[in-house]
């Protein structure tokens, strides 16, 4: 039992300190520093051990949050690690990258700042690494069944690890030259260093998972050959088909998609040389269209490259500082937030819609924007608010529609729905026998915690398909939705 008066004794919410802005702009290292153990234990002690822990409901993994908060308070980090890993294959990934819907549902958050759940989670995971508790867990016996996992993002890796531990022989195929999906080249180093990913991959290899980078299904191996070679196939290719715009001037040079900009830069950040397709923001005025996390990643990256100015445009008005009345607890509200990148400089412009791109000699030189307001459900320009922002580099970060259309999906015979997501039933099975879909490819663009949960659940469905029954956890069905209004 946690200290049932801890939330009364420690009212202040304390997150780990961030490295000073001038210092972190000089390198690509992670922004957050370690939190001292005494502060961490006090923060964990704010957990109320609720009779009905709504944080469980908000977390698709069903993380045992009150249990490991209690163990951290007691100083038993090893048992806390056991409880944490019981529901989450990669807690350091979620601790660093998840926006923590569990904290929005924290009961303490009704009238106090919520418990620092994700920081406690990350601290437990790092403690496991520091003390050597992160050991491989190979299966005791092999089943003789084989599984191919297509895609090596969080959903694919979670499915692969669960299936390997169940005794199946699993191969993970990735078209990029290294395993990790967007965690490898899409997430900036200052949010999660690649060493964090690599140590998990080493654990998985030691357990028996086989990695096949640089292999594109549908090109290097046909979908038909994959189905013939393996007893089951898990498609976890993500939702990487980016949205585009058709504003006048879109054809100008200097306008790029975020995922054309971030991967080459992230390669440079980890020490690669002569990276093709590198886009350098040094000395340029940069405008980012899109107010989400991907835009924030571009924001921090451009500042580290030495951009002259960085402006992020968001069509939505600035969110309120507190939860709005129409977004009641325990749903995840839209509140104003400042990412680590936003602390480092630049400007954010809200209620701004792009109308056209301005160019000189075939290259972009500016972005014309106008203030908008919602009238009868539609964004309506405010007359007289047009202006041109200087921009020699424009980055489009307006989300993704679904998986990329390509020969792999066609050869596997997979269908898409009206939202361009791959069709599957509630147990992740497609209409093609033995082929399953996990993660954003079936759900659409979502959070890393949902991807891991789907990977775990899909693994249970595959294991059941292969063996007739399963002992693997099934945290959610494929049609479950986030806890929102």
Please give the pLDDT value at position 8: 85
pTM higher than the cut 0.85: yes
Q: Per-residue pLDDT tens for 264-284?
A: 999 999 999 999 999 999 999
Please give the pLDDT value at position 254: 98
Long-range Cβ pairs for the range 464-471 (8 Å, 24+) = 464/427, 465/232, 465/429, 465/434, 465/436, 466/143, 466/145, 466/147, 466/168, 466/231, 466/232, 467/143, 467/145, 470/166, 471/166
pLDDT-derived band of residue 485, with 50, 70 and 90 as boundaries? very low
pLDDT-derived band of residue 484, with 50, 70 and 90 as boundaries? very low
Give yes or no for residue 483 having a pLDDT over 80.
no
Please give the pLDDT value at position 482: 67
Give yes or no for residue 107 having a pLDDT over 90.
yes
Region 313-332: mean pLDDT is 93
Percent of the chain with pLDDT over 70: 99
Q: Per-residue pLDDT tens for 401-432?
A: 999 999 999 999 999 999 999 999 999 999 99
Give yes or no for residue 393 having a pLDDT over 80.
yes
The answer to whether 369 and 386 are in contact (CB under 8 A) is yes
Q: Per-residue pLDDT tens for 348-365?
A: 999 999 999 999 999 999
Please give the pLDDT value at position 2: 57
Closest by CA to 428, choosing from 145, 155, 239, 204, is: 155
Please give the pLDDT value at position 57: 85
Please give the pLDDT value at position 361: 96
Region 458-484: mean pLDDT is 90
Give yes or no for residue 481 having a pLDDT over 90.
no
Percent of the chain with pLDDT over 90: 93
Please give the pLDDT value at position 1: 52
Please give the pLDDT value at position 479: 86
| pLDDT, averaged across the chain | 95
pLDDT-derived band of residue 252, with 50, 70 and 90 as boundaries? very high
């Amino acid at each position: 039992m946690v200290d049932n008066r801890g939330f009364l004794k420690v009212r202040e919410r304390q997150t780990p300190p961030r490295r000073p802005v001038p210092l972190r702009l000089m390198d690509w290292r992670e922004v957050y520093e370690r939190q001292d153990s005494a502060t961490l234990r006090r923060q964990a002690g704010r957990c109320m051990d609720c009779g009905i822990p709504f944080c469980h409901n908000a977390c698709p993994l069903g993380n045992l949050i009150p249990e490991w908060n209690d163990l951290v308070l007691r100083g038993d980090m090893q048992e806390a690690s056991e409880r944490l890993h019981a529901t989450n294959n990669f807690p350091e990934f979620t601790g660093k990258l998840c926006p923590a819907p569990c904290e929005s549902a924290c009961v303490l958050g009704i009238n106090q700042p919520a418990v620092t759940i994700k920081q406690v989670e990350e601290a437990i995971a790092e403690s496991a690494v520091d003390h050597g508790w992160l050991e491989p867990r190979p299966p005791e016996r092999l089943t003789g069944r084989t599984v191919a996992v297509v895609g090596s993002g969080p959903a694919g890796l979670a499915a692969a690890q669960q299936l390997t531990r169940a005794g199946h022989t699993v191969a993970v195929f990735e078209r990029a030259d290294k395993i990790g999906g967007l965690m490898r080249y899409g997430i900036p180093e200052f949010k999660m260093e690649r060493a964090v990913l690599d140590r998990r991959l080493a654990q998985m290899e030691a357990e028996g998972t086989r990695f096949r980078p640089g292999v594109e299904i549908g090109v290097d191996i046909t979908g038909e050959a994959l189905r013939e070679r393996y007893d089951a196939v898990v498609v976890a290719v993500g939702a990487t088909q980016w949205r585009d715009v058709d504003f006048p001037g879109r054809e100008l040079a200097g306008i790029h998609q975020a995922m054309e900009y971030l991967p080459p830069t992230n390669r440079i950040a980890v020490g690669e040389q002569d990276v093709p397709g590198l886009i350098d923001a040094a000395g340029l005025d940069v405008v980012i269209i899109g107010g989400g996390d991907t835009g924030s990643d571009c924001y921090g990256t451009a500042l580290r490259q030495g951009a002259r100015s960085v402006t992020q445009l968001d069509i939505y008005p600035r969110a309120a500082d507190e939860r709005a009345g129409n977004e009641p607890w325990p749903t995840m509200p839209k509140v104003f937030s400042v990412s680590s990148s936003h602390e480092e400089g630049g400007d954010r412009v809200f209620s701004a819609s792009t109308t056209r791109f301005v160019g000189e000699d075939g290259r972009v030189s500016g972005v014309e924007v106008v203030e908008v307001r919602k009238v009868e459900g539609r964004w309506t320009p405010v007359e007289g608010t047009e202006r041109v922002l200087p921009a020699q580099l424009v980055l489009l970060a307006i989300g993704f529609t679904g998986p990329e259309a390509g020969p792999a999906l066609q050869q596997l015979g997979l269908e898409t729905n009206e939202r361009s997501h791959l069709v599957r039933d509630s147990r992740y099975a497609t209409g093609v026998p033995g082929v399953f879909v996990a993660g954003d490819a079936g759900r659409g663009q979502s959070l890393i915690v949902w991807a891991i949960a789907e990977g775990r659940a899909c693994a249970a469905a595959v294991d059941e398909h292969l063996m007739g029954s399963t002992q693997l956890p099934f945290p959610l069905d494929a049609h479950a939705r986030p806890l929102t209004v």
